[in-house]
Amino acid sequence: MATKRDYYEILGVNKTAPVDEIKTAYRKLAMQYHPDKNKAPDAEERFKEISEAYGVLSDQNKRQQYDQFGHAGIDMRYSQEDIFKGVDFEDILRDFGAGGGFGRGGGIFDIFFGGGGRREGPRRGSDILYELPIDFEEAATGKTVDLEIPRIETCNVCHGSGARPGTSPKTCPACRGTGQVSRTQNTPFGRFMTTSTCGTCRGSGQIIDAPCTKCHGSGTVQGRRKLEVKIPPGVDTGSRLRVPGEGEAGEKGGPPGDLYVEMNVRPHDIFSRHDDDVLMEATITFTQATLGDEIIVPTLDGKAKMKIPAGTQNGNVFRLRGRGFPSLHVSGKGDQLVKIKVDVPTKLNDRQKQLLREFAEASGEKPRSKGIFEKVKEHI
């Protein structure tokens, strides 16, 4: 096995770094290497390495032990599982949407231990990610939606025990309920103790003689959950709403996972969005642009009057203050930005042409002569 790298070096912090600096460094690296995000073949190894470093350096006792005795000090006193124990990875990783890992039943520990090596005791249920399409206007006003989500639920016949009603699971005699069996080996180098998952109960610590007929002993069934979810005003595509405890049921009495509702806002015919601002284009005639006018434009909440000042140019942008999206994080609203497109008429009758010629004359324009650019145009 390769030599283990220094924990401080792994996280890129110095030996006197305070805990919050270590946490920040870990978050940054975790975001980069989380196997749900990074598909490089060594990402999982790297993620485990930084997580182990964080597990040790974020704990005062373990860090002290490491500072004094190095890796040997840690290996001597702590198992791999001990290193990760008591570290709230879920809390750190939840912020960037990994939530400990979507689709990974056991959360982060499955990454570290492959799900096989540890005791299969209570397990937190998986998180569910639900993509919700909503209309552009609904994203601005918010909405209450009724969802029906297929998910794994606790069996209502055995209440999750897996045993037929009237019976109860028995403690596994092979491991006495611990889910693990230990073997001691004597070798010329000394006594070695190895621990592995109990084969009789497959780690659960319990044996079910009479399995529940509905769930066949698993304690969970496939079900559908109807629930009402309130979407706050101001959401955008990619906004995630966490509904705690509405994910899949936990196993063996473990807590349920969370439900994440991710918004997918449908595009709008007229409006588009930039942060909390609504953007649109309004076409006006060149007379309106020249003389000024008042026009009516659609907004997220009904029609609004907008003044076009005399001399408005093509491409000018006007702001309707407070007509944008409500901000999700702070109070206040964005604006509506209206970009002006001046329509140049293509079909003029004789009278219109005459008036425009008079207009040109009154403006002191010289009679039109065929310049070089018009020659070019004729050749197209």
CA angle 267/271/277 to nearest 5° reads 110
In three-state secondary structure terms, 207 is: strand
CB crowding 32-56: b at 16 or more within 10 Å, else e: ebbbbeeeeeebbebbbbbbbbbbb
The region of 28-36, 144-152, 175-183, 293-301 touching Zn ion under the rule CB under 5 A is 175-183
Decide: is 157 part of the binding site for Zn ion (CB under 5 A): yes
Decide: is 249 part of the binding site for Zn ion (CB under 5 A): no
Q: Which of residues 183-242 bind Zn ion (CB under 5 A)?
A: 198, 200-201, 212, 214-215
Q: How far is the CB of 256 from Zn ion (least distance, A)?
A: 16
Query: Could you tell me the sign of the dihedral formed by the alpha carbons of 303, 308, 314, 319, in that order?
Result: negative
* Cα gap 106→115, rounded to integer Å: 7
Decide: is 174 part of the binding site for Zn ion (CB under 5 A): yes
Q: How far is the CB of 154 from Zn ion (least distance, A)?
A: 8
Decide: is 175 part of the binding site for Zn ion (CB under 5 A): yes
Q: How far is the CB of 243 from Zn ion (least distance, A)?
A: 25
Q: How far is the CB of 215 from Zn ion (least distance, A)?
A: 3
Cβ-based nearer residue to Zn ion, 101 or 169: 169
* Cα gap 47→109, rounded to integer Å: 12
Q: How far is the CB of 334 from Zn ion (least distance, A)?
A: 51
Decide: is 172 part of the binding site for Zn ion (CB under 5 A): yes
Residue spans of alpha helices (H) in the chain: 7-11, 19-33, 43-57, 60-77, 80-84, 89-94, 108-113, 136-141, 286-291, 350-362, 372-378
**Encoded tokens for 314:** 């093509």
First to last CA, the chain: 73
Give the binding-site size for Zn ion (rule: CB under 5 A).
12
Decide: is 50 part of the binding site for Zn ion (CB under 5 A): no
Cβ-based nearer residue to Zn ion, 111 or 175: 175
Interface residues with Zn ion (CB under 5 A) are 155, 157-158, 172, 174-175, 198, 200-201, 212, 214-215
